[in-house]
Amino acid sequence: MARAVLDAALAKRRSAQQAPRRRTGDGEGTGRRLRGYSGPGPDPRDPQLFGVMLERIMKQRGWQKPAAEAKVFGAWEKVVGPDVAKHSRPLKLDAGVLTVEAESTAWATQLRMLAGNLLKRIAAEVGHNVVTKLNIHGPAAPSWNKGPRRVQGRGPRDTYG
């Protein structure tokens, strides 16, 4: 049985060596590089559009999700609209939770009420399941824990009750 398999493999090899190689036109499968000019039809040697090449590379390397997450930050005004973007900014995106800082507490309250609508707009622009939840907060309060004259204790109770 082993002898029959060996004879069949040798016969296949001899027939492949005797048959002239045909050029397929695309350069694939022969291991050789195409020479000469390309024909009137599409050819892999033809110049490609940059966007098409970039999309192919992103797909091959699995960069679609990081690119979608970056689009949330890069195109914030386009994603949420100019009015909302003027009064808020995205801070971080971690495991589908987008942290947004509003310019005032009033705007933070408004954005919390618009959270469902904002999630729909973000999903339509960027893609589904990129942002699953919004964490909206107001501006950061000043910290009294820094400075050259810091006194240990509970703080100035006489002015802040």
Place of tokens 């729909």: 120
- CA 82, 84, 87, 90 torsion-angle sign: negative
Q: What pLDDT score does 159 carry?
A: 62
The Cα 24–Cα 19 span in angstroms is 15
pTM for the model = 0.53
The yes or no reply on domain 64-137 and CATH 3.30.300.180 is: yes
Q: What pLDDT score does 125 carry?
A: 84
| Of 63, 57, 27, 31, residue with least CA distance to 43 | 27
Residues in the chain, pLDDT under 70? 19-38, 142-147, 150-151, 153-161
The Cα 112–Cα 102 span in angstroms is 10
The Cα 70–Cα 84 span in angstroms is 19
Per the DSSP assignment, residues forming a β-bridge with 94 are 97
The Cα 24–Cα 33 span in angstroms is 11
Place of tokens 């050789």: 32
Per the DSSP assignment, residues forming a β-bridge with 102 are 88
Residue ranges per domain, the chain? 64-137
Contact 79, 72 (CB under 8 A): yes
